[in-house]
Structure formats: C-alpha cells, structure tokens
Amino acid sequence: MKKSLFTKILREKKLMLSPLSGYTDYPYRQILAKFEPPFITTEMVNARAVVEGNQRTVQMLKKVTGSHFNGAQLLGKDPNFMAKAAKIIENMGFDYVDINMGCTVRKVISKGEGVSLMKDEMLACKIVKTVFNAVDIPVTVKLRTGFCQQSINVISLSQKLACSGAAAITIHGRTGEKKFGNPLNIHQMREVASTLSIPVIANGGVFSGIDAQNMLFQIGAAAAMPGRGILGNPWIIPEILCNFSGDIFTFPTLQEKKDICAEHIHNVCEFYGEKFGVLKMRRIVFLYFSSCRYLKSLKSDIHMAETIDNIHALLHKIKEVDGVWIYE
C-alpha cells in the first residue's frame, strides 16, 4: 500500500480501529470486517516472536479478508528485530505496520517496550527510521502524551517520529500511569495535530459517533480511533461513519445483537477450541448487552458457563419488555 493512498483514505474515512490486546484477535476481526471499517489492526505482536516464527504469534497475525486495509501492530525495542518483523508482515500481505509506543502493561514497561520508548526519543526515532527503511508499506506509531505526568513529551517526539518516516501518528490522550479514568489532555493532542503535516489519529473516550465527531472538532485530528468502544459493539463503525457522512444510523435490535454475539462465540470456539473459547467469551459476551437490566447477574452467570450451549442458554434469557432489555 502506498503511503499516499493510505493518507488519502485515512483523511477521507476519518476512522481507524484500535489494536486491543486480547480482544481484536482473528475471530473478532472477522466480525468487525462485516461492518466495513476502512482500517483494521491486529492486536499487538512481539517483534522477536514474529521473526522466530512463534506459532501462537503467527496465529495472531492471520489476516481477515474484506474491503478494509489490514495493519499489524508490532511491540519491541530492538530496531533490527522490529525491521525484520515488519518485513515479514509486509511479505504476509499486510497493508501497513503500526509501532506500539503506548502499552502500559507492567511486564512490557519493565522490558523497555511500549510506552517506555517515549522516555528514549533517540531509540524511538531509530526504531521508526529502521522500520521505514526496511519496508515499502506505511509505518504508523501509537503514542500516549508521555510516559508519566512529569515527562509529557508527545509534541517533541511526534515531530521527530514524523521526520523519521512515520506516515501517521495515533495519540492516546493520557500518560502511562493509568490506562483509563484520567481526563484526556485535549490541549496536547490539539497542539500535535496543528504542528504535524502527517495525519494525527485521536484515541481515547470514543464510544459513539458524536464522540468521534467531537474528537475531530476539538483536536483537529485527521481521524478518530475508538478503543474500548468497539468491544461488544461493532455497530460503532457504521455509527461513526454515518455521523461523518450525515447519513441516518439505525441502532441494532436485540435480536441483531444476539445474532452477532452468537457468531462471535462460534468464531472464537472454532479458532481456539470450545474449552478455551468459552473461557475467552466469559469476559466478552456481556459487553454486547451493556444496557441490559440486571447486567451484574448476566456477568455472574456468564462466568459459570463451560460450554457453547451454556452461553446460548443465557442469551435466550435476555428479553425485550416494553422496549427495555432485561436479563431474566
């Protein structure tokens, strides 16, 4: 994929889906693809594992067919391994590669990876430059505003990364101390967007089409990236696209939600096997029905499910009464 085409489509569609570790796996990317997003990115994969051909990592990189462009997110701190992994990803047919400089998981930080790279701007730029020189597909970077509140450096670092070859930069508007809860630093995000010539993708707090529209308006970003907002809600894709285009979006019915959730369950169990698939879906199923009354009871019962049939039986207990969804 040419950088110019990537930039053109990104600026036109104004939407890119987030790589979410443990969630945007192949089974859920199959679901997301049905809703025709312009870009889908894999969950993060370790660069060294890609180079070494780790079986689980290869499985994580299974591409989803559809009208979208496929991206893969790389995690690592060694420029050479990152470049080799990016080349492998390019040869697998991916359209772009994203470099993770935002992950706040403790074991990732302890290795100097993820958001830790924001503390070493020279190394961060070397990684991007080395990857850029190794592949012909666009290279993007996902950042936070800084490693911590005492070292907010997203403006200076993003400018250097752009000069190192980044085709676009995603900014999650919080620092690395806390994943969620703190308010977004809109000022920092807006300043980055106003100073870069490459597209800036705004991430954080996008749970609806209106949220996405407000993010673009407040920050001046080229595109919005919903994160947790896509979990159990692939309909956020057409909702955001309709909001941008001015078309009317129709929210899904309860039966439509049940049907897509059931398809998700099938995909997961087919991909991982029923035992692990059911365990994985225990933390996902209830997300499809977040507005349901007695959600706590549903969550509790889901955690006791051991088979696909158990889960389907629980879905059957979700009813619509006088326009309200209720778990009976």
Q: Determine which one of 103, 125, 261, 292 is catalytic.
A: 103
Beta-ladder partners of 100: 142
Specify whether 103 is catalytic: yes
Residue 277 phi, psi (nearest 5): -60, -45
Catalytic positions are: 103
